[in-house]
Amino acid sequence: MDYSELVVAINEEDMKTANRLCGDILPILKKYLIATVGAKPEDAEDAVQRMFEYVIPKIQNNEIKSPSGLLAYMLTAARHSYFKIRKEYDSHKFEVIDENLVAELEQPWGLLDKDQETILKKCIKELKGHYKKLIRFLFDYPNADSEDIAEFFDISVSNAWIRKHRMIQKLNECVKKKFK
């Protein structure tokens, strides 16, 4: 669907048409967030609303250069809004690793029994600063890639990739040490 009609409606201050078009795209963007980042429906709706609060002024100020590319722009902006919301919600929880999360997730390091699981939990607790925040994020979003990490923590994609791999390396080293 071409959303250039939305740009025209907003620029001509035709709020009836703009509201109808925004209402039409809302479920599409919600489903996108639910499918791609595992958003809860209410969080997805909040993110889409915030996205509209960001995108509509951009349209009014003629900052959208390609109205035909508006859908792609809104998808990216909705995803970014969702990560900002999650960052706000989770900011107070980063320092605490939920014991149940570790137990419920599949262990990529091959930790299958309770002794090995206990070792991993101890190693996670020993992580410092941004590594602890990153592991929490990855437990919350196991399918997150480096781009998602970069967007959530407001860092470059290469920095996100490096942090993730260093964190995994630190966990591997700690587990090997404690498992001996």
The answer to whether the pTM exceeds 0.85 is no
Produce one character per residue of 47-70: b if its CB has 16 or more CB atoms within 10 Å, e if not: bbebbbeebeeebeeeebeebeeb
Task: Give the model's confidence band at 121: pLDDT under 50 very low, under 70 low, under 90 confident, else very high.
Answer: confident
Q: What is the rounded distance in angstroms from the CA atom of residue 74 to the CA atom of residue 21?
A: 13
Sign, CA torsion 167/168/171/176: negative
For residues 105 and 148, the model is more confident at: 148
Q: How many residues does the chain have?
A: 180
Asked whether the predicted pLDDT for residue 107 surpasses 50, the reply is: no
Q: What is the rounded distance in angstroms from the CA atom of residue 41 to the CA atom of residue 65?
A: 31
Asked whether the predicted pLDDT for residue 94 surpasses 50, the reply is: no
Q: Can you give the residue ranges of every domain in the chain? A: 4-90, 99-179
Residue in 137, 140, 179 with CA at minimum distance from that of residue 155: 137
The predicted structure's pLDDT at residue 4? 81
Q: What is the pLDDT of residues 7-66, one digit of tens each?
A: 888 888 888 988 888 888 889 999 999 988 888 888 889 899 999 888 888 888 888 767
Place of tokens 């959208």: 64
- pLDDT average, residue stretch 76-98: 71
The predicted structure's pLDDT at residue 102? 47
Q: What is the rounded distance in angstroms from the CA atom of residue 162 to the CA atom of residue 167?
A: 8
Write down the H helix ranges in 40-156. 41-60, 70-90, 99-104, 114-126, 129-140, 146-153
Q: What is the rounded distance in angstroms from the CA atom of residue 63 to the CA atom of residue 57?
A: 9
The predicted structure's pLDDT at residue 2? 67
Asked whether the predicted pLDDT for residue 101 surpasses 70, the reply is: no
The predicted structure's pLDDT at residue 90? 62
The predicted structure's pLDDT at residue 31? 92
According to CATH, what is the number of the domain 99-179?
1.10.10
The predicted structure's pLDDT at residue 1? 60
Which tokens in the block code for residue 14?
A: 């035709």
